[in-house]
Chains A and B, each alone.
Chain A
Amino acid sequence: MSRYIAKAAIRGANLIVSEAEKMLQEAIKELGPETPVVFTNTAYYLPVILGFTGIEVQTLGDLQQVIDYAKKLLHPVPGDTLWLPYLGETLDCGVATLLAEEAIEGIRFARGLQPEPIPGLQLTGTSFTSPDGNSQEEEGGFANGPIDDVQLRAWGIQLVDGRMPGFAAIVGAARSNEAAVSIVRELQQRNILVFLSGNVNGRSIIHQLMEEGVEMGYDTYIVPFGTDTISAIYALGFATRSALTFGGLSGGQARDILLYNKYRVFAFVLALGEVDDLKYATAAGALNYGFPVIADTVIPQILPTGITQYEHVISMPFDDIEGETDAEKARRLVQRCIEVRGIKVKITEVPIPVPYGSAFEGERVRRADMRIEFGGRNARAFEYLRMADFDEVEDGKITLIGPSFEDVEVGGAMNLGILVEVAGRKMQEDFEPVLERQIHYFINGASGVQHIGQRDITWIRFSKAAVEKGFQIKHLGEILYARFHADFGSIVDKVQVTLITDEELFQEWLQKAREAYQARNIRLADMTDESVDEFYSCTLCQSFAPNHVCIVSPERLGLCGAYNWLDCKASYQINPTGPNQPVPKGICLDPVYGVWQGPNEFVYQNSHGTVERVSMYSIMRDPMTACGCFECIAMVIPEANGIMVVSREDPSMTPVGMKFSTLAGIAGGGLQTPGMMGVGKYYLLSKKFISAEGGFKRVVWLSKILKETMRDELQAVCEREGVPDLLDKIADGDTATTIEELLAFLEEKGHPALTMDPIF
């Protein structure tokens, strides 16, 4: 906590509370204690006071106890030599400030001084959402004052359902009129409500907008509360009433109201111009709601998070902001505000000149229809997604470095690098490959664009028709920007796309991308079950196998082959209530069989009591159940003291006298079938592949298609297991389709399983 801020805020609080008390005494003396105090068109008394204290203020007399309460919250201004953790005191004083400010507005209402007269101000007529309107509006010349209940509900619905991401309480005056207009336009574009109040040396942003002819009022989502700092209290009144209306809370539940706002109302304070004591004090009050403060002047920052979700107070001096014009600087300022509050950008449309949608995913672009291709036989293309720090990524920046394809002949090819840089509070390096794989689906959604492959074997084609409609390389960036925000907004806050055709840069980044691919491969290979604290569940298939639960660990991917541990982890971040849930390992009950307390409990609960125990590394004892989607079936062959692994793609007869389809009928359905298990084919490569029974050396028969398509990887496994020629000792559909043939084959080759411990 900054001592400077604490001192200023505490000073400001003391001052405003005593001012409020003075005003109250005068008002009571003049008007009498029974004089009604009412905010027009709202049913929440004085809402901030109601929220914090539960007091239902109806008369001037009722305000006395509010002032008394506020006084108790005040602390003395800290001395210059004393070093204290001031946060608590400052926040308390912030609350006192808010109570005093609302009391003052209450008194002003009683005196008929609110809403504040602002000569020349015309608010855009309230629509049907506010049938009563403020009668004075028609004549004009007044600020809005508190937002009425009807409008609160209408906007509240949008705030709650997410169409409106939050509100910005702007206090003060912008550097220039140009900056003022740019700030509100930026906010408007993002559907963020704008509340205006305060001034700097008598000049308010309200005046600036009036001069520039910016329409204000409910219709334009820009609401001028008043030209002093005190009127900013209406913004917090709005926040409090949102919690009361939509959070099911009632007056006096201060803590719940503040938490509701912290987690659900994405609001922030933007202090423009010099920050005086009262502004600090008011800002301290706003911090209680979890609303961070961003100032465009030099003030001390409060960075550690706690009361707010991220930083508390940010200083972004206007002069230091990058940008040619005030408008550009203002844009960056708003961008920063959005980051600090963690407001998610919603993008619903992909702005490209060709139709876009999943319906185009399977479309082909044939050579004859093709304008240009990237990658393929005659060129190379790569795609590389990496995470970066917030300040390294400019959201929405899409750049093409190098030439476009005008000079390439029709049907020609060129190199292309797609570099996607993302930043996000919840982003992790481990999610890079998960997100990168989405590029394929995202790009394929454009009509007339075909995407094949991934990493450095990416291959993209644009059709002539698409290019005729105006489709350009940079539109790939538009697609990726829009879709990553839309689909992965919970992980990703900022997305920047660089498209590289410049040959030198292309080669440079290709190299970097390849290094990254390699590093990821190693990272994946190094990830062990021991190295993590939790596995993930997958209950996606319960729609047809109601009691089946997959437990996915780093060394055992889902049996369908589609979900590895990282995918599940990312999926959980994106969809916390979805089918992939974290399963803490808990106490290890058997390291050999791979039994933990956590998975046991999870499986018992989610199999609805049908499966009590699950061994992660065994086919014989409590093996994992299967839904029916397995890539392969592993099954024990007692006569051979080993197991066979049959691929879904293998239609031939196996030595046990059953084909895959028959075996599948026995293995599926979510029942534990010792001796039988559905597995993903990459599990065969894991060190934990039926390690309880001796691992890969137990494999005596393997579908030929697996042997062929995974030969290199399997060879590496054989070497790891210490039997380099093992693969040749394993039978397949060519060498054995009966037990007798199998046994003869194994004897002849001297398969190690024959001499291993009995499998049961």
Chain B
Amino acid sequence: MALNILVAVKRVPAPGAKIVLTEDAQRIDTKHLGFTVSPHEECAVEEAVQLTGQHGGESTVLTLGPEVAEEQLRTAISMGINHGVLVATDDEEWDAIATAAALTDAITTLEAERGAFDLILFGNESADAGNYQVGVRVAHALDRPVVSGIKDIEVTGDGVTMKRAVDDGFEVMQLPLPAVAAVKEGINLPRYPAMRGRLIAKKAQIRHITPEQRQGGLSRVRLRHPQQDQTETQILGTGAEAAPAVARIFEEVGLL
């Protein structure tokens, strides 16, 4: 059965070892940073490409963000996604309720035009905001079953088998289609886009949808760094001769 799959992604900064805040403490200073798709969502994109590769069908990538988030849609298209849709906002962050409401409206619009999505994939949580809820809210608004923490998806006949990673293994769920899943990194290894994919992505038409902003109820006052204990690093040595000193640390923490 050919599948119609939607993947929702978010543009986020790609920080290195340190995060610097702007002077007004409202956001991360991105002057010297690149942007990327949240890691779980990059895997959701790869999963959609693999599933439509196996079963046939089409895939669409959707994001809510500023105009420049087209970059992340084109990255997804270069990996093999067929269509890109931008729900265009100003550059402000929308909270989970506002984001979910706008995505639900956009999905309803797209489905009225091209038919229902069999599968809608989200990342388990975004790297920056970490709200852990947008996919569940959208699924609830669309009245579709949803599972989170998914590390394996197999479409079988008119249903789908999903596996959720837990501490000591996997939980297996069987859902009817259409369904929604919030996936986690580890479900696959995302491909590096090939030259052909990048050429297709460069020329791809991106559909723009203008959303209405619902007031969600959670608003930022300021961002700040947690207080860090300034620990002086104690150097135990430079090679094999440090082994006894390391073993003494093992003793101190009660391992030996």
Query: Is chain B a partner of chain A in the same complex?
Result: no
Instruction: Enumerate chain A interface residues (CB-CB to B < 8 A).
Output: none
Instruction: Enumerate chain B interface residues (CB-CB to A < 8 A).
Output: none
